Structure 1
Amino acid sequence: MAAIPDSTKTSLAQRLRQHARDQWPQLAALYVRYHGQFAYVEGELAGGDQLPLLRLRYGGSASTWGFGLYLASSGKYENQILPTGLPIGTAQEALDCACALYLNY
């Protein structure tokens, strides 16, 4: 699969940051970096600690993404299925899945 287009990178980061502001006040900031067909999302907590959250996989559409959660036990990302039962969904759904797991402590 081709790399993520620049326009999609921009819109993805904007949508994820807005969603994090609206839904996840535990996050002081959200960072997105890109490599090939992947977007890696990391959150920053109020105390400054950074937390890898998820990896999004671009499949040719800016509206649907595959995703993997970061597993601290292995230091790797593992593909997941969203609570909807689908292996793809919106980036916001993937962020909610990761944040529900890592921030609801």
Structure 2
Amino acid sequence: MSLDSRPEVGPVSKVYNPGSRDSRPVAVHGRCRDACAEGEPADGERVKLMRLRYGGTASRWGFALYYAGSDRYEDSLLPAGAFAGGPEDTLDCACQLHLAGPGL
């Protein structure tokens, strides 16, 4: 696979709204085969969310959640039971775990 065949991952932002009036920005930045996402909760402090790893197709990426206790990204299962998925599914999972308030 040549470097030119990979999708370009540049600075992107998406607003995550977990069914509330409170929208939260998410910044995604990439380097080589990885794309990392950080969220910005209501208090304004950036929170690392997840890492996506390019696996040969733009529709399916390896998924790793960020664990603050160990300061590492670790391969994780999505709710569907897979270690890889589409960017939207992985971002929704990470945002629900890291940014959603209690009771969601």
TM-score range, shorter chain: 0.7 to 0.9
> Which of the pair is proportionally richer in strand?
2
Larger radius of gyration: 2
Query: How high is the sequence identity, in percent, across the aligned residues?
Result: 38
Alignment: residue pair count: 99
Rounded to whole Å, the distance in 2 between the matches of 1:61 and 1:25 is: 34
Question: Under a length normalisation based on structure 1, what TM-score does the superposition of the two structures give?
Answer: 0.77
Cα RMSD over matched residues?
2.6
AA aligned opposite 2:61 = W
Bigger mean CA deviation after superposition, 20-29 or 40-49:
20-29
Query: Which among 83, 94, 98 is matched to residue 98 of structure 1?
Result: 94
Q: Which of 1 and 2 has higher RCO (CA within 8 Å, sep 6+)?
A: 1
1:77, 1:34 → 2: CA distance?
15
TM-score calculated relative to the size of structure 2: 0.77
Where do 5+ consecutive residues of structure 2 fail to align? none
5+ long unaligned stretches in structure 1: none
Shift of 1:67: 0.7
Q: Structure 1 residue runs of 4+, over 4 Å off?
A: 1-4, 21-27
Give matches, 1:2-81, under 5 Å: 4-6=6-8, 9=9, 13=12, 17=14, 20-21=16-17, 26-81=22-77
Higher helix share: 1
